[in-house]
Amino acid sequence: MEVGEILTNLGADRIIYPEEEAGKKVARQEVMTGVIEYFEITKDVSAVEMEVPHQFHGKSLSKLNFSKKYGLTVSLVVRQGQPILTHFAEIPFEAGDFFLIIGENSKIEKFKKRY
């Protein structure tokens, strides 16, 4: 009998296998080029930290109409290692900026394929 079966029999609701979770995370990061970090929020929704595509440099989130166009939400912009905490929707992106986007996995995948 494996450890997972034993824990299930003891009433565990969820069993985490660290090696499996780490493997999945690394695989996602390898497949999604440009992705720095990947967080699964639910089965269908994730958050992805990635470098801002060069096509966005010089443009702001509001000018890009980002949320409406891509169906994703930017919750954080990081410039030179420091978060921009206020009014980041109006600030034009620069080379080296990163953002944290949140949304449905299918929309994130579509965005990543495009950029």
Q: Give 61-72 pLDDT, tens digit per residue.
A: 999 999 999 999
Residues 80 and 65 in one domain: yes
CATH code for the domain in which residue 74 is found: 3.30.70.1450
Give pLDDT tens digits for 5-55: 776 777 888 777 777 666 666 655 555 556 677 788 898 999 999 999 999
Residues 96 and 69 in one domain: yes
- Predicted confidence at residue 21, as pLDDT, reads 65
Residue 6 host element (H or E): helix 3-9
The rounded distance, in Å, linking the Cα atoms of 54 and 62 is 17
Q: Please, what is the end-to-end C-alpha distance for the chain in angstroms?
A: 46
The rounded distance, in Å, linking the Cα atoms of 78 and 47 is 15
Residues 106 and 76 in one domain: yes
Domain span at 2: 1-31
Residues 13 and 66 in one domain: no
Number of domains forming the structure of the chain? 2
% helix, strand, coil for the chain, step of 5: 40, 30, 30
